[in-house]
Amino acid sequence: MTTMDDAAPADTGRSWWGARLWGRLEYPAYIIRRNPVTLFGFSVIVLLVIIALAAPLIATHDPLAVSPANALEPPSRQALFGTDQYGRDVFSRIIYATRLDLFIALTSVGLAFAVGTVLGALAGYFAGLADNLLMRLVDVIMAFPPFILAMGTAAALGAGTANIIYVVALIQAPIYVRLARGEILSAKERPYAEAAHTMGNSPLQVIFIHLLPNCVPVLLVQVAVNLSWAILNAAGLSFIGLGVRPPTPEWGGMINEGMAFMLSGHWWLFFFPGLAIVITILAFNLLADGLRDVFDPRLRW
Amino acid sequence: MTRLLEIRDLKTYFYLRRAVVRAVDGVSFWMDPGEMVGLVGESGSGKSVTALSVLRLIQMPGRIVSGEIFFQGRDLLAMPEAKMNSTVRGQAITMVFQNPRSCLNPVLTVGKQISRVYRTHKGVSTGQANDRSLGLLKLVQIPDPERVMRRYPHQLSGGMCQRVMIAMALICQPQLVIADEPTTGLDVTVQSQILSLMRDLRSQTQAAQLLITHDLGVVAETCDRIVIMYCGKVVETGSVQDVFQQPTHPYTAALLHSVPDVRKDFRTTTIPGTVPDARDPPSGCRFHPRCTACADICRVEEPPLIQIGPSREVACHQRLGG
Amino acid sequence: MRLLIYIARRLLLLIPTLLGVTIVCFSLVRVLPGNPAYFILGPYATEEDIEQVKTELGLDKPLYQQYVIYLNDILHGDLGYAWHTSQPVADDLKQRFPLSIELATIALIITLIVGVPLGVVSAVKRGSWVDNVARVLAVTGVSMPMFWTGLVLIYFFFFRLRWAPPPMGVLDVLMERPPTVTGMILVDSIIAGNWETFGSAISHLILPAITLALPMIGSITRMTRSSMAEVLHSDYVRTATAFGLPRRTVIYRDALQNALLPVVTMIGVLYGFALGGTVLIEMIFGLTGMGSYSFGSIMNMDYAGVQGAVLMVAVIFVMINLLVDILYAFIDPRISYG
Ligand SMILES: Nc1ncnc2c1ncn2[C@@H]1O[C@H](COP(=O)(O)OP(=O)(O)OP(=O)(O)O)[C@@H](O)[C@H]1O
Ligand SMILES: [Mg+2]
């Protein structure tokens, strides 16, 4: 059956990153506004960012303030989500942890995106030996189950926020390498690439000004998906003691600490940080689904 | 005499999120037994949707909104789905699609795909169905049919796959074969082979054929009658001879003029203006923005399809040549 | 025959990947900052021990020589010595691995049994309430961190309802293991005909397996649904419908068979996910498999253990992916074995 207009990308040769990017993002922006589920996901993310930025204003207590007298209090009006074994306010800790978890997710995905896309684009454009080596490296990284590789590397690097970021970026970068490489490989064949080249642009200009901006939408869906994985993996690493060190509040670490008190009935210690993770990841997934809807309408969810 | 097929005022719309596409918007035409009719029109005029509507193959978000489709006096649109499957589809009316390679199931062998149609409808044993399939592969002039039976579609050329589709379409001796651009996407030499095969088969099988095509030359060579569609509507029908010699609708005339080379696919038409958007068709006569004979009435009132001769109909306020 | 050649070719191609995997595992300890001897011996090592290990490992030699030694050791089944269990790592893994494989496999089976039909129904009845429920479940499933879901399940089914056994071990406390044949408790129970241990093991494994399966069910449902939806709109499904084949045949033969092809390729990915998940799950449910072994090694700064476990999981993962590829080549006639 004939389908509707296949929305062929407008292959005009405007050469401004900003203008081109906006040209490609206008439609997604429109979809986000129209589709209620996507809009919900997007709003939750905006809300989370606001919470992260305004953590000191929203938190009711100092997240690190210990108060043994108030230890293990169940949720109440004073302590919305109860208090932990040191009497610290769980709600305030979760609010502050939003900062850290979002920061880790954004920086690790940003790092993976930047490094992966650039390497993939260069490899796709120039091909040859370096491309071959890079792809073998990608194969090897992908030969490991992601969390296992993250765990092994984190264990070698040692615990700590910065290391978590590197590790999570490491397991995600191959995806961007492959995506960007594939996109560039196919974009390279299109007439406008040839045109840009004969107009006297250097290869780097062709890649980064003319070709890459057209691939951004595809990569964008991946970014949304990966943000959710990043949070899962970072929290998971902290949960097994390889991530953020206590007492810094972090969702996975809080669940780990709370676990010991579950079987004495203090469920709020592990429950609420987990809920925060679920909500955050759900929001990113809904957003990713919405974006996928835009770029791949046949696989609509 | 009952007509073989009679379509009356068929409307098939696609309900998209942001718009309704009136792909087929009041199509009427008929076919007699054994007749070969050409259905032509520019890309997007609703030919495929019409054909699919006959077999009720329109999928969500599309829907047959109204109209009647009589086949040998029975209303296909009122028929229960099960009866459609057991008496019409694959037996009385069959269809040959464009892009034959994607129309065959990639994980089943060709032989299996042909014979299961026969088995389903005739309730015969696998052995009998295989014999019959082999016979049909011979009929459509496939070399070494025993071997081809065991092949998967991806191992055959496009032309071969189309022959397989045609064999499938003929295996239950249908009264009507609908061929939707059966040669699009094939090599030029293969195209003419397939078309001459279909012509030959017509005399051998007595099945009527509805041939959807862009190629007026093919229609001139093979068809008895022609139905011309524009933007979801029939604008003119008649015997090939009459219509080609004396077109009465300005669109038909423009079509005939725009094809100096009859072999040329008229997707690259030279009629000035563009095909209107089926989401928002023009008022009145849909052709009026591009029409050279456009009058005031054409802008406001939709011309009905009226009979102007034996088996000759046209929908135009400003008929050419009187 | 051609399939055999294909398999042989794939096995050959495996060698560079596996070499790459060993290089990564080697680098984890030797190239990254930190003292390998310290990693290997743990925090309680004396100066002399460290010096001795340094010479034993040839840490004064160039890196490539060290790698050759490492590779040679691996090929001889020597994965180093885990000081926190006082055993060779290879022995530890031999004891621990079967349980993890068992857990991951059960989770995968649950995933396929639940997720595939759910995705199919969801696609076939697109827009119905089944579809909507399935979609919500699926997206929620993939959004739940399993180290949290596991705790929630334990809290409800053990702590509150007392339906589940305590999250400690794979058998009830005083129960004796059936004789070890495969190391997998369920399989060994069946071999020994011991239904008591079988039942007990099932009751201990079911919650962790469900925990592990939930996100996988989510992703396989989504995958199946979109694959099935695409196939249902394909030209060949339209052909089958146009030729009057019964709807059941069209959906469950033409469509499903094709729609499952990409789902098959997912199995490898999911298995990797499940193996990664065992680290978290076993720790929560008190199971002594490879996952809790890795965790224990990390907690004790016993790097040989971590390294061995990572290598082992990667090798298994690569093998599973190979099997999946072969299975795929077997069921999709379009794959040319060339
Ligand atoms: N599944 C669908 N969803 C939405 N719109 C559709 C769908 N199928 C067809 N249409 C629309 O219906 C109109 C008629 O399409 P149809 O395929 O019948 O044209 P056609 O005359 O067969 O053209 P072509 O010569 O290109 O095959 C077009 O505007 C098309 O965009
Ligand atoms: Mg068509």
Query: What gap in Å lies between CA C74 and CA C78, rounded to an integer?
Result: 5
Q: What is the CATH number of the domain that holds B220?
A: 3.40.50.300
Is the sign of the CA dihedral B132, B133, B136, B138 positive or negative?
Answer: negative
Using the CB atoms, write b or e for A160-182: b if 16+ within 10 Å. Answer: ebebbbbbbbbbbbbbbbbbbbe
Domain assignment present for A252: yes
Take atom 13 of ligand 1 and give the residue whose Cα is closest: B23
Lowest mean pLDDT among A120-124, B15-19, C193-197, C284-288: B15-19
Token digits of residue C17: 């990947």
Is the CB of residue C74 less than 8 Å from the CB of residue C304? Answer: no
Domain assignment present for B116: no
**Model pLDDT, residue A250:** 93
Domain assignment present for A13: no
Domain assignment present for B141: no
- In SS3 terms, C167-200 reads as CCCCCCCCCCCCCCCCCCHHHHHHHHCCHHHHHH
Domain assignment present for A19: no
Chain B CB within 8 Å of residue A2 CB: yes
**Model pLDDT, residue B302:** 85
Task: Rounding to the nearest 10 degrees, give the CA dihedral for residues A82, A86, A91, A94.
Answer: -140
Residue B278 CB–ligand 1 contact under 6 Å? yes
CA of B184 to the centre of ligand 2 (A): 10
Binning pLDDT at 50, 70 and 90, where does residue B122 land?
Answer: confident
Ligand closest to CA B61: 1
Residue B21 CB–ligand 1 contact under 6 Å? yes
Domain assignment present for A283: yes
**Model pLDDT, residue B168:** 92
Task: Express each pLDDT in A221-275 by its tens digit.
Answer: 889 889 999 999 999 999 998 888 888 899 999 999 999 898 888 999 999 999 9
Chain C CB within 8 Å of residue B91 CB: yes
Domain assignment present for B156: no
What is the domain count for chain B?
1
Q: Is the pLDDT of residue A16 over 60?
A: no
Which residue numbers of B have CB closer than 8 Å to A's CBs? 16, 21, 44, 48, 52, 59
Query: What gap in Å lies between CA B218 and CA B181, rounded to an integer?
Result: 11
Residue A156 CB–ligand 1 contact under 6 Å? no
**Model pLDDT, residue A13:** 43
Is the CB of residue B164 less than 8 Å from the CB of residue B147? Answer: no
Binning pLDDT at 50, 70 and 90, where does residue A138 land?
Answer: very high
Domain assignment present for A258: yes
Query: What gap in Å lies between CA B241 and CA B259, rounded to an integer?
Result: 17
Token digits of residue C8: 């042989």
Domain assignment present for B202: yes
Q: What are the chain B neighbours of A4 within 8 Å (beta carbons)?
A: 16, 21
> First and final CA of chain B: distance in angstroms?
31
Q: Is the pLDDT of residue B139 over 60?
A: yes
Domain assignment present for A241: yes
Query: What gap in Å lies between CA A272 and CA A282, rounded to an integer?
Result: 15
Q: Which residues of chain C have a pLDDT value below 50?
A: 338
The H or E element containing residue B25 is strand B20-31
Instruction: Give all domains of chain C, ordered by start, each with its CATH number.
Output: 2-87 (no CATH), 89-331 (1.10.3720.10)
Residue A69 CB–ligand 1 contact under 6 Å? no
Q: What are the chain B neighbours of C240 within 8 Å (beta carbons)?
A: 105
Instruction: Please give the ipTM for the structure prediction.
Output: 0.89
Residue of higher predicted confidence among B303 and C206: C206
Supply the DSSP string of C99-164, one letter for each residue. HHHHHHHHHHHHHHHHHHHHHHHHHHTTTSHHHHHHHHHHHHHHTS-HHHHHHHHIIIIIIIS--S
Binning pLDDT at 50, 70 and 90, where does residue A195 land?
Answer: confident
Strand B233-239 to strand B74-75: parallel, antiparallel, or no bridges (unpaired)? unpaired
Chain C CB within 8 Å of residue B62 CB: no
Q: Is the pLDDT of residue A190 over 90?
A: no
Q: What is the CATH number of the domain that holds A124?
A: 1.10.3720.10
**Model pLDDT, residue C6:** 84
Task: Express each pLDDT in A51-85 by its tens digit.
Answer: 999 989 888 888 888 888 888 888 888 888 988 88
Lay out the sheet containing B208-212: strands in order across.
B93-96, B176-180, B208-212, B36-40, B225-230, B233-239, B312-314, B306-309
CA of B106 to the centre of ligand 2 (A): 22
Q: Kindly give, in sequence order, each residue whose CB lies less than 8 Å from that of residue B166, ignoring residues fewer than 6 positions away.
A: B96, B140, B182, B194, B197, B198, B201
**Model pLDDT, residue A141:** 92
What is the domain count for chain A?
1
Q: Is the pLDDT of residue B259 over 80?
A: no
Domain assignment present for B98: no
Is the CB of residue B100 less than 8 Å from the CB of residue B80? Answer: no
Task: Express each pLDDT in B168-188 by its tens digit.
Answer: 988 888 999 999 988 877 778
The H or E element containing residue A202 is none
DSSP state of B263: T
Q: Is the pLDDT of residue A30 over 60?
A: yes
How far C254 CA sits from the closest chain B CA (Å)?
7
CA of A170 to the centre of ligand 2 (A): 48
Domain of residue A155: give its range.
48-299
Q: Is the pLDDT of residue A6 over 50?
A: no
Task: Express each pLDDT in B24-63 by its tens digit.
Answer: 988 999 999 889 999 998 888 899 999 999 999 988 788 8
The H or E element containing residue C10 is helix C2-30
Task: Express each pLDDT in B282-298 by its tens digit.
Answer: 888 888 788 877 778 78
Domain assignment present for B205: yes
Take atom 19 of ligand 1 and give the residue whose Cα is closest: B44
Domain assignment present for A223: yes
Lowest mean pLDDT among A86-100, A185-199, B97-111, B141-155: A185-199
**Model pLDDT, residue A45:** 93
CA of B224 to the centre of ligand 2 (A): 21
**Model pLDDT, residue A205:** 81
Contact B48 A4 (CB under 8 A): no
Across chain B, mean pLDDT equals 85
Between CA A183 and CA A189, with CA A185 as vertex, the angle to 5 degrees is: 110
Among C18, C25, C84, C143, pick the best mutation site for testing chain A contact (most A Cβ within 10 A): C143
Contact C280 A236 (CB under 8 A): yes
**Model pLDDT, residue B268:** 47
Residue of higher predicted confidence among B196 and B36: B36
Domain of residue B197: give its range.
5-92+174-314
**Model pLDDT, residue B152:** 92
